[in-house]
Structure 1
Amino acid sequence: MENIKCNRCGNENRNNARYCSGCGYELPKSTIEEETSNRNVISIPVTTGRRKSINSILGVLVGLAVCFAVQHFLFKTPSFDKVMMESASEINKSCPIMVDAETRLDNAVALPKNILQYNYTLMNMDAELVDTLEMKKVLEPNIVNFVKSSPQMKVFRDNKTTINYHYKDKNGVYLFIVSVTANQYE
């Protein structure tokens, strides 16, 4: 192997040295020349410690990215929308159910934008014979109070869910909807 000569002081240094052993200055980058069978000369740069450290840093970054991706996709906590859908499905297992002599809970639905809707039928009501505005005015304070104070509704209050109570008559005709927003129960 050939030695590298320092351009500054003229000292001969080993081929793999980065700094001159005589003056301490950085040596010029060397190339290794290999002859091929056709007598062509190929220049190959000598790898230094710098390349190894760059590869090490890149390896660490790739490793961290893989760890983050695994944690994000495998150990992800379920979104509240999913919790609402599961709650609605659980309620729907026992539906339809008579809440009282007049009211039947038909089902529950998780809607977009953090809304949970309960669909009720008023079994003895006919939309043509009832004052829906007056009925809504009577029921709304009781429903808002229930959402504010019920321990069963705490998870929805904590997540600022809008709770809709959708009512229809015995023939399936829409009567009214009571919507309880986070502003009403805070």
Structure 2
Amino acid sequence: MIEKKCPNCQTNNISNARYCSGCGYELPKIEQEIPNDSKVNVLPSASKSEKTKKRMALIFGIIGAAFGSFVAQHYFFDNSSFDKKMMQVASEINKTCPIMVDQFTRLDNTLSLPNNTFQYNYTIVGVAKSEVNIDTVKKYIEPTLLNNVKTSPDMKIFRDNKMTLVYNYRDKNGEHVWKFSVTPEMYR
């Protein structure tokens, strides 16, 4: 496995790390060549089968449920304030980041934000913004994410605390692709 050395503190980091695990410094990018003849189609297009579209939607739903379960089981049963708990949750999740959640999606980090908001920041690896079909994302992924927040027992802690969950996606170049917010009004 290739490692990246932090120019700030000299800590060795995994090759796909965006930030140094030792000091948090942003690491230099290592460019990987992708052959021009191999097109990567990350999100299902109109020509893909319904099965593929549903599979991608399910993957995003599972990701949200897994992190919701992690939050509920590990951080909501002590006496510290809710904001501190959410910051601890983000910090603990970030210790494992970046992490590939599926073949095309990498969780880069999470943020506990003001106004009872928790944000997941993802990168769609190997794909430029121009290759992403936003209409397909909105049609298949948004309803799945919303349904997961509404119905998953793992997401109950978010519902009970009227949290807003934000799913933020960037392309391989760090350019913003899509952001979806699930507000309490949407799941009540």
| TM-score normalized by the length of structure 2 | 0.55
Distance, in Å, in 2 between the alignment partners of 1:90 and 1:162 is: 19
Amino acid at match of 2:91: S
Distance, in Å, in 2 between the alignment partners of 1:78 and 1:113 is: 18
Distance, in Å, in 1 between the alignment partners of 2:148 and 2:118 is: 15
Matched, 1:148 2:150: yes
The partner residue of 2:138 within 136, 139, 163 is 136
Compute the displacement of 1:131 (Å): 2.7
Compute the displacement of 1:183 (Å): 1.5
Compute the displacement of 1:168 (Å): 0.6
Q: How many residues align?
A: 110
CA offsets 1:60-84 (integer angstroms, 9 cap, x no match): xxxxxxxxxxxxxxxxx43211111
CA offsets 1:95-135 (integer angstroms, 9 cap, x no match): 11111111111111000010000001111321123232432
Amino acid at match of 2:146: V
Equivalent in the alignment of 1:86: 88
Larger radius of gyration: 1
Tell me if the contact between 1:167 and 1:174 (Cα under 8 Å) persists in the aligned partners.
Answer: yes
Tell me if the contact between 1:127 and 1:175 (Cα under 8 Å) persists in the aligned partners.
Answer: yes
Distance, in Å, in 2 between the alignment partners of 1:109 and 1:129 is: 27
Distance, in Å, in 2 between the alignment partners of 1:184 and 1:178 is: 12
Runs of 4+ more than 6 Å apart: none
Equivalent in the alignment of 1:118: 120
Equivalent in the alignment of 1:102: 104
- Any idea what SS the aligned residue of 1:141 has? helix
Task: Name the structure with the higher strand share.
Answer: 1
CA separation of 1:161 and 1:109: change in aligned 2, threshold 3 A: same
The partner residue of 1:181 within 180, 183, 187 is 183
CA offsets 1:156-185 (integer angstroms, 9 cap, x no match): 111000000000111111001010011122
Distance, in Å, in 2 between the alignment partners of 1:164 and 1:122 is: 16
Q: CA RMSD in A?
A: 1.5
Distance, in Å, in 1 between the alignment partners of 2:119 and 2:134 is: 19
Distance, in Å, in 2 between the alignment partners of 1:116 and 1:108 is: 7
Distance, in Å, in 2 between the alignment partners of 1:105 and 1:146 is: 18
Equivalent in the alignment of 2:172: 170
Greater CA deviation, 148-157 or 161-170? 148-157
Where in structure 1 are there 5+ consecutive unaligned residues? 1-76
| TM-score normalized by the length of structure 1 | 0.55
Identity over aligned pairs, percent: 54
Distance, in Å, in 2 between the alignment partners of 1:124 and 1:137 is: 22
Distance, in Å, in 2 between the alignment partners of 1:136 and 1:86 is: 31
